[in-house]
Structure 1
Amino acid sequence: SEPLDVTLPIETHLNLPFLRKRLTNYPDQNLLANLLEGIRFEADVELQAVLVPHLISLPKGFTSVRNELYRLQTLGWYRFFDHLPFWPIYLNGQGATARKLETRYRRTTECGGPRRPTLDGSGLRALSINEAASVRHMPAWYKHRHDPPWLQYMQERELADPLEWGMPSRRPPEIKPTLSMVMRDLSILLAAARRLEEPLYIFGDDAKDYFNQLAIASEDWWKFGVVFIHADEITAPRSA
């Protein structure tokens, strides 16, 4: 076994030189870094093996989830191993959500586990990826690094200061429109439509595999594992 090279360039079909040139002065450089260098979950977690059980919704959509994992592997976005590829590792549970108008289920990944306080043998709590990304948490192993770039990261994250449990992360929050925002905009548009005697259409769009196309940075590979039944133990689905 060898240590994971956390500096590996991402494998992607995106035109990275084009994006780098066009977005050099883009205000959100963190977003640009995720595109060019790989997605980082920005979750400060301990060096622990965290095994999150599958959700109770999985049995109903088991076949759909299995087919989806194989499809993503065929596209080169997932990779299968017959052993644990990393240690420590997060193995996140899988679930399934029903779709409208079709029998195929939507695969979901449980990044909120453990759902209850869970401690390792040394007394360190195992945080879920979701919680670690939303709070300021100082993992024990962070204290063993003293190189200048790392210390700067600690300062920017305000992790060197005394922390209380549950303090919110210093990273900018994701801002999504609220229901009141949508209702306000619709009321304005509807008022104008009535005065102009024109119809008002509401529609949404979606992109297949939108987030799966964004490669994960190698430094975070160990945080996003999935354990699933081996293909030899069941009938393997047809490749996508």
Structure 2
Amino acid sequence: MNPADFLAGISFRRIRPTDQLPENMYFADDFALQSTNTVLPADGLRLTENIRSVWDIPKMSTFAIGAILNRLVSQMAPGHAYVNVGVWHGYTFLAGLVNHPDKICIGIDNFSAFGGPRDRFHYYFQRHKSGNHKFYEMDYVEYFQRVHKEQIGCYMFDGPHDYHNQLLALQLAEPYFADGCVILVDDTNWADPRRATLDFIASRPGRYRILMDVQTAGNGHPTYWNGLIVFQKWQES
């Protein structure tokens, strides 16, 4: 199943992205509620167990987003990398790499925001990493200008979501996007990351296609948290 079909096949049993949460229902960090609410079109059992193994990590994300990342990383071509800018405690980074010791996975963060949980991130990273998994404590601009070499098969930017940084993060990574690369941008309920992402795509006609563009009923929603755009570089025939 290709990424477009997988994403289109995700559904939710009770709480959908546009639904307001009932006042007596707490979903934010409840694995059982989120995982049973989310219907995955393929690899459901494997993805659920993979995400369960990293669920204890503090997060500003959801089961569904973690499952998407894990599925995308599993399907990357040999030699392609999953790159996650802005790891915080590590949930979205580790959700992608967990149980994929053979995949190249790279995290970048300078821990300048949200309390800078450096020690906690490294604790979780040491539990799940393999020799193919790397972390760079540095600014993402410096990283792409000085360090990065691999073709990127999956990219997630979760750094500063102002317009300038969101657009720059896509521009700097773009030269490394492999054909078929899938890019995730979260927090797209907010105007700046949404507009920067759509402007990036629109400025490159025919080069990218949007696979998912979903906004949620509020920040912290148990489906797609604070909105999600997923798009893909067209694969040349």
Bucket of the pairwise TM-score, normalised by the shorter protein: under 0.3
TM-score, normalized by length of structure 2?
0.25
TM-score, normalized by length of structure 1?
0.25
Higher RCO (CA 8 Å, separation ≥ 6 residues): 1
Considering fraction of residues, name the structure with more strand: 2
